[in-house]
Structure 1
Amino acid sequence: MIVASKGGYGRHPAWYHNLRAHPDTTVQVKAEILPVRARIADPAERRRLWPRVVRTYSQFEHYQQRTPREIPLVILEPRRSA
């Protein structure tokens, strides 16, 4: 999961829009490149995950308070490579 906070800025980060338009992508974890599909957490997932996000990095709560937009949580699900 990744957080589209942009530090609480009023607009979503550019990479968020790119993932919305092209959800099939790759991520690199150390030396391994993994194919993933990005999707936005649904409301129930967000309610469950947001407290975990804030516990991991409390500044996200401050970012959410700075902006009227809901900060998206982007789920990266493994996919088979083509």
Structure 2
Amino acid sequence: TPLDVEALHELNMPIFLCLAEDDKIVPVDGEMAIKIADNLPEHTVKLIMPGLNHSFIESDADRVTAATLDFIAGLAA
């Protein structure tokens, strides 16, 4: 099933959008990333990880985990 990007604004849950600054596959300034980011609800937490590429979840797992845990901790505050 294709992603219904225009329906993303209807999501009513915490959302953490984490992108890699140097991603050549899904560039942060590319059409798809912009379309997704623009259609997410205002409460979305958006983070661009500087200096990382498309495989950032594996290549810098500690940094991504720390950012994710910070997001989760913010939900409990």
Same fold (TM over 0.5): no
What TM-score, normalized by structure 1, do the two folds share?
0.24
Of structures 1 and 2, the one scoring higher in RCO (CA 8 A, sep 6+) is 1
Q: Which has more strand, going by share of residues? A: 1
